Structure 1
Amino acid sequence: MPFSDVHLQLHSIRATALRAEATAHHPRPHARRLRPRLGWLLVELGLRLVEHPTRARVRPV
């Protein structure tokens, strides 16, 4: 068996193991709801900061 075939076989074995690990991992149910809420909260905060920028704290010379 040439080296390249062994190399591909090792990648295939690793990919299968990673797929099995990924399907076994399920995020916690509340984490699914928390991420979008946190994301939209950050978007809202960013929009508020753009709407009402604070004064520049640097004094002109």
Structure 2
Amino acid sequence: MDAQTHLALHHARTAELRAEADAHRLAVAARVPGELRTRLGWTLVEMGLRLASAPRPAVAS
């Protein structure tokens, strides 16, 4: 591949990645910090505790 073509592709990809990073930063700044993540985390903890403490059925021989 020609060096100039390779460099042009590299610059294009760099611009795409920077735009993606900027969009991600804006999305993170716009949301309520951690609210959904916290609720989901505690829901998963609660489900795990219920599964761990559920009585096991007796095995009939």
Asked if 1:46 is matched to 2:48, the reply is yes
- TM score, norm. by length of structure 2: 0.60
Percent identity of the aligned residues? Answer: 29
RMSD after superposition: 2.6
Measure the CA separation in 1 of the matches of 2:40 and 2:55: 22
Residue 2 of structure 1 corresponds to: 4
Number of residue-to-residue matches in the alignment: 56
- TM score, norm. by length of structure 1: 0.60
Query: What letter corresponds to residue 55 of structure 1 in structure 2?
Result: P
Structure 2 unaligned spans of 5+ = none
C-alpha deviations, 1:3-58, integer Å up to 9, x for none? 2111111111111211221222222x2x72232123122212212212224538xx
Measure the CA separation in 1 of the matches of 2:37 and 2:54: 26
